[in-house]
Amino acid sequence: MNTAEKRFAIIGAGMSGILCAIKLKEAGHKHIAVYEKADRIGGTWRDNRYPGLTCDVPAHAYTYEFAPNPEWSAYLVGGDEIQTYFEKVVDDYGIRPLIRFNSEIASMIWNNDHWEIETADGHKDTAHVAIMATGVLHHPKFPDIPGLENFAGRTMHSAQWDVDFPLAGKRIGVVGNGSTGVQIVTHLGKAGQDIVHFQRSPQWMMPYPNFAYTEEDKARFRKSVEAIDAIRYDETYWSNIRRFTTGITDINSPQMLEIEDACRVFLETAITDPVLRSKLTPNYRAACKRLIYSYDYYGVAQQPNVETIVCGIREVVPEGVIDNEGVLHKLDVLALATGFRTDRFVRPISVKGVGGRDIEEAWAERCCAYMAISIPDFPNFFLFNGPSSPVGNFSLIDVAERQWNYVAQLLDRVSSSNASGIVASQAAFNDYEDRRIAAAKATIFGSGCTSWYLDQTGVPITWPWDYDAFAKAMEKPEFDAYDMV
């Protein structure tokens, strides 16, 4: 088929979907539809608006390579600023007319040489190529706490925050201490709010200072993209990424021990109260859970207006929370920083591939994809930041851009052949998964803690090799691992 006649459906208008739409348009494709279930672009940066929301990746690194932003206000920026950046990119590159808002996909069926697509409101479409930019952090996970529905105050999940609800003078309970919980507690604690922080297990933290850019800095960024690149490609930043990814894959390496030492020293020097220090000391290795990057949480946790509870929650009652020691903590607001259902990916979309194979069958044991991109029996169905993509304390924009480079070459292979599609072979997929699972179990993520990185069998669902290996793998597909359809 002529390249210009191909129809593309991009599912999701978050970071990855925006990227793919721009790249397809630049490549000259005319038939591109971006389906977005919400009424705005942005994905996780649209949905999350909780107090203190900040990306823990340097702003100039969390930026499309083709769209540098000289106006970032700080080294690390808040969610509103990132959302504004994405909105500007969408308009600057003219892809807003391609986006169909309030269009949640209900089903996708492969029919010989194309995907038949239907939205929840009954709209039907076809596409030769489906790009699944649905993300992973967008289905809120609610804790299974007895009596949660009985709370008489205001309950809000961090991904469904009511920004208009007044918090002044309220006593706030925060459940969860991943990055979100830590950011909420830090922000509100600094503002003088009375906080009770309920932690299931303490977190290791890496000190990571933030600083504002001056007007002189921004003027320099506007004048010279090289000044931006000096931050984006800063050797210290990338050496830290390599240290991290080497450490998690070689858990007794000097790099892993260096990370653990840094976290331990930070805890021991920042927390002066031995009782609180004991409460905040994890019983697992650093980076087993996603590292928390924070320079000031430990200071806030020692303020008199912040109380830390690590004994667990027995139940929620109308007045507040009763912990496992029987103490009632009276509250006005209950903030659930309990994360997301990370086994969703393209779910709840009903997807049926060759011969009617259901993706629920393919993912019965765990979510998986060859090279994090392709699933056997699902041709021209490409995942971005999907199962086994790298996750960690680095830019997922960089991950998506590398994945686009890989997928673009698969599309070129289809265009240069008489085939209608391309898909990972079952043999290549089986070999990849065998190697990936064995390697994943040996990473620091599999060393003995609970985290959102683990699938239902306890196997880390992440890329288990270092970042350089991922970058190398994305440079060029091994075409022998793919079947032409």
Please tell me the predicted confidence (pLDDT) of residue 394.
Answer: 85
Q: 123 lies in which domain range?
A: 3-139+341-484
Please tell me the predicted confidence (pLDDT) of residue 301.
Answer: 97
- Residues in a beta bridge with 212: 74
Examine the domain organization and report whether 294 and 416 are in the same domain.
no
Asked if 277 and 173 touch (Cβ cutoff 8 Å), the reply is no
Among the candidates 315, 336, 357, a domain finishes at 336
Element (H, E) at 198: strand 194-198
Please tell me the predicted confidence (pLDDT) of residue 1.
Answer: 46
Strands 333-336 and 350-352: unpaired
Q: How far apart are CA 49 and CA 46, in angstroms?
A: 7
- Residues in a beta bridge with 374: 370
Cβ-in-10-Å burial (0-12, 13-18, 19+) of 458 comes to exposed
Q: How far apart are CA 393 and CA 61, in angstroms?
A: 12
Q: Extract the tokens encoding 347.
A: 């779910």
Q: How far apart are CA 416 and CA 188, in angstroms?
A: 57
Among the candidates 318, 336, 354, a domain finishes at 336
Examine the domain organization and report whether 346 and 433 are in the same domain.
yes
Q: How far apart are CA 322 and CA 411, in angstroms?
A: 56
Asked if 133 and 16 touch (Cβ cutoff 8 Å), the reply is yes
Q: How many helices (H) and strands (E) does the chain have?
A: 14, 21
Among the candidates 336, 367, 402, a domain finishes at 336
Examine the domain organization and report whether 326 and 213 are in the same domain.
yes
Token match 């593309």: residue?
Answer: 8
Q: How far apart are CA 232 and CA 293, in angstroms?
A: 18
- The Cα-based distances of 209 to 63, 176, 257, 434, 475 in angstroms read 20, 22, 22, 40, 33
Q: Describe the chain by its helix, strand, coil percentages, rounded to 5.
A: 35, 20, 45
Cis amide prior to 348 (ω within 30 degrees): yes
- Residues in a beta bridge with 194: 171
Examine the domain organization and report whether 359 and 475 are in the same domain.
yes
Q: How far apart are CA 134 and CA 90, in angstroms?
A: 17
> Which one, of 156, 149, 158, 134, lies nearest residue 79 by Cα?
158
Examine the domain organization and report whether 282 and 328 are in the same domain.
yes
Examine the domain organization and report whether 258 and 281 are in the same domain.
yes
> Which one, of 338, 330, 430, 416, lies nearest residue 377 by Cα?
430
If one counts every other C-beta atom within 10 angstroms of the C-beta of residue 380, the result is 26
Element (H, E) at 440: helix 426-441
Examine the domain organization and report whether 274 and 231 are in the same domain.
yes
Examine the domain organization and report whether 253 and 295 are in the same domain.
yes
Token match 């994809």: residue?
Answer: 369
Asked if 335 and 175 touch (Cβ cutoff 8 Å), the reply is yes
Please state the separation of Cα 50 from the chain's center in Å. Answer: 16
Asked if 357 and 373 touch (Cβ cutoff 8 Å), the reply is no
Asked if 222 and 213 touch (Cβ cutoff 8 Å), the reply is no
In this structure, is the dihedral angle defined by the CA atoms of residues 408, 410, 412 and 415, taken in order, positive or negative? negative
CATH code, domain with 287: 3.50.50.60
Asked if 312 and 142 touch (Cβ cutoff 8 Å), the reply is no
Asked if 136 and 340 touch (Cβ cutoff 8 Å), the reply is yes
> Which one, of 405, 411, 379, 409, lies nearest residue 3 by Cα?
411
Question: SS3 of 333, please?
Answer: strand
Examine the domain organization and report whether 324 and 353 are in the same domain.
no
Return all residues near 418 (Cβ < 8 A) that are at least 6 apart. Answer: none
Please tell me the predicted confidence (pLDDT) of residue 2.
Answer: 52
Question: SS3 of 314, please?
Answer: strand
User: Total structural domains in the chain?
Assistant: 2
Sheet with 7-11, strands from edge to edge, namely: 99-100, 31-35, 7-11, 129-132, 381-383
Examine the domain organization and report whether 160 and 51 are in the same domain.
no
Q: Extract the tokens encoding 440.
A: 């994943």
Q: What is the pLDDT along the chain (485 residues), one digit of tens a residue?
A: 455 579 999 999 999 999 999 999 999 999 999 999 999 999 999 999 999 999 999 999 999 999 999 999 999 999 999 999 999 999 999 999 999 999 999 999 999 999 999 999 999 999 999 999 998 878 889 999 999 999 999 999 999 999 999 999 999 999 999 999 999 999 999 999 999 999 988 999 999 889 999 999 999 999 999 999 999 998 888 888 899 989 999 999 999 999 999 999 999 999 999 999 999 999 999 999 999 999 999 999 999 999 999 999 999 999 999 999 999 999 999 999 998 887 878 999 999 999 999 999 999 999 999 999 999 999 999 999 999 999 877 899 999 999 999 999 999 999 988 889 999 999 999 999 999 999 999 999 999 998 888 998 999 999 999 999 999 999 999 999 999 99
- Report angle CA 388, 341, 119 to the nearest 5 degrees: 90
Q: How far apart are CA 229 and CA 61, in angstroms?
A: 9
Examine the domain organization and report whether 214 and 351 are in the same domain.
no
Cβ-in-10-Å burial (0-12, 13-18, 19+) of 2 comes to exposed
Examine the domain organization and report whether 224 and 265 are in the same domain.
yes
